[in-house]
Amino acid sequence: MYGLVEICLMHPLDVVKTRFQIQRGKGDPNSYKGLGDCFRTIFRNEGLYGFYKGILPPILAETPKRAVKFFTFEQYKKLLSFTPLSPAVALSVAGLGSGLTEALVVNPFEVVKVSLQANRDSFKVQPSTFAQARTIINADGLGLRGLNKGLTSTLGRHGVFNMIYFGFYFNVKDAIPASQDPTLEFMRKFAIGLVSGTVSSCVNIPFDVAKSRIQGPQPVPGQIKYRSCFQTIGLVYREEGILHYLCIVCYGNCLLGLIAKILLTGFLCLHSDAGGAIMLLVYEYVSAWLQKNW
């Protein structure tokens, strides 16, 4: 239920983030001038439902994604406990492993989602999620050019995110003394989780941009410009500069997250940063309860 609420509240921001990721700088005739212009243009041309394009794939992927993330993290953590790695490194490696496994599950959903989000037609004339999936499969199949294109970028995005997400959270949490006051202890964990989610989101931006470019429409129909993860990252850097990635950080994470936090009263915000903090807390408290009672 938590994941469903998070997706419904934050999907408009994800649509805007994807639009900024796939636009190609000032030379792009469809380039948005800024955050406000993007919101206004989508609302004017595509209507309110335009902000919810591609929402079904993440809803369908939500339960298996979260299950895979935390289940595999625990399994990798147990396996790595038998290696000479230090606990700090083992937690980060376990997070990396869980992210790579999670990416294998969610990538087909991401391909369909991005293709729907990139479509600037009216919501009413846009194909349904299943029709879009069938179109992708019929045209390019299930492989790395079809329903699983951009897999390497998705592996990088989720692998880097989870490596920092889990590694930072658990290592910093252990380094900062716990409080005997339950409220202060909750706030301590929430603050660490918030920083963990924010740092993770900012660091994995190049992989996220590459994923959107590969999975989204190519600049010239019929010609594949964005072919692979690192080729796309390098190409975007050479053609549009490091500022493109910095702008995506601002539009896709920091600024949008700040607006979301203001609109949703901050503490209860379910954007990726705060949502990540809440998700870690839910995981930790539920895990502790299960270990105690089972």
| Domains of the chain by residue range | 2-293
Best CA proximity match to 144, nearest among 211, 61, 238, 237: 211
Q: What separation in angstroms does the CA of 47 have from each of 51, 124, 219?
A: 8, 9, 25
pLDDT of the residue at 78: 93
Model confidence at 272, pLDDT cuts 50, 70, 90, reads very low
Token pair listed for 228 = 């692979």
pLDDT (tens digit, 9 = 90+) per residue, 23-37?
Answer: 876 666 778 887 788
pTM above 0.75, yes or no: yes
Contacts with 234 (C-beta within 8 Å, 6 or more apart), sequence order: none
Token pair listed for 92 = 């980060």
Fold of the domain built from segment(s) 2-293: Mitochondrial carrier fold (1.50.40)
Model confidence at 264, pLDDT cuts 50, 70, 90, reads very low
Please compute the mean of the pLDDT values over residues 250-261 and round it to a whole number. Answer: 44
> What residue type is assigned to position 154 of the chain?
T
Model confidence at 258, pLDDT cuts 50, 70, 90, reads very low
Model confidence at 275, pLDDT cuts 50, 70, 90, reads low
CB atoms within 10 A of CB 140: 15
pLDDT of the residue at 27: 63
pLDDT of the residue at 270: 35
**pLDDT at residue 89 above 50?**
yes
pLDDT (tens digit, 9 = 90+) per residue, 202-228?
Answer: 788 889 889 999 999 998 888 899 999
pLDDT (tens digit, 9 = 90+) per residue, 173-191?
Answer: 889 998 899 889 888 888 8
**pLDDT at residue 50 above 70?**
yes
pLDDT of the residue at 262: 38
